[in-house]
Amino acid sequence: LGLGRGGMQSKLSAAKLAARSGTDTIIANGRFEDILARIASGEELGTLLTADSEPMTARKQWLAGQLTVAGTLQLDAGAVNVLCNSGKSLLAVGVQRVTGKFRRGDVVACVTTEGVEVARGLVNYDAAEIAKLCGKSSDQIEALLGYGGEEEVIHRDNLILSR
């Protein structure tokens, strides 16, 4: 008993997290005789996931490992492009819609208009505040919320790409 628990999706998620952390990982059948010794001796068994060249910081490793999110932010194409290709923070102007009830500091998923997750991050505002800020420029935050908050909805240091 106990072998095979967790499913392939869990194994792949764990292996991807290890690779992002700088560790090569092999997913192999644990029922094969002497599987660990055979792999250690160089026999090519299973599936190798190679480590990323630049391991993530501990904060981003933690973010990548979060299996549940408190809500979603639907982004326009410009925001998706900036997040995926420029490594910038997420600004309110690129957010089209808010789903879920979450608080400042919660983990949310950032999705395309088609619903494809592109990133996860820790939000600087709660769901109701972000809903007021959708599509607005950062210089309007104080007027819309009644207080001067953070310039970004999710700072790049608190953001991890999903793809």
CATH number at residue 116: 2.30.130.10
Q: What range defines the domain where residue 76 resides? A: 62-161
Q: What percent of the chain has pLDDT over 90?
A: 53
Res 26: pLDDT: 85
* Number of domains into which the chain is organized: 2
Inside any domain, residue 82: yes
Whether the pLDDT of residue 112 is over 90: the answer is: yes
The answer to whether residues 79 and 146 belong to one domain is yes
Model pLDDT for residues 47-56, shown as the tens digit of each residue: 887 776 665 5
Question: Nearest 5 degrees, angle CA 32-CA 35-CA 37?
Answer: 150
Residue at a domain's end among 55, 71, 91: 55
The answer to whether residues 73 and 137 belong to one domain is yes
Helix/strand/coil (H/E/C) assignment for every residue in 41-85 = CCCCCCEEECCCCCCCCHHHHHHHCCCCCCEEEEECHHHHHHHHH
The answer to whether residues 72 and 13 belong to one domain is no
The answer to whether residues 77 and 112 belong to one domain is yes
The answer to whether residues 106 and 27 belong to one domain is no
Mean pLDDT is lowest, of 11-20, 111-120, 144-153, for 11-20
Res 6: pLDDT: 63
- The pTM score is 0.66
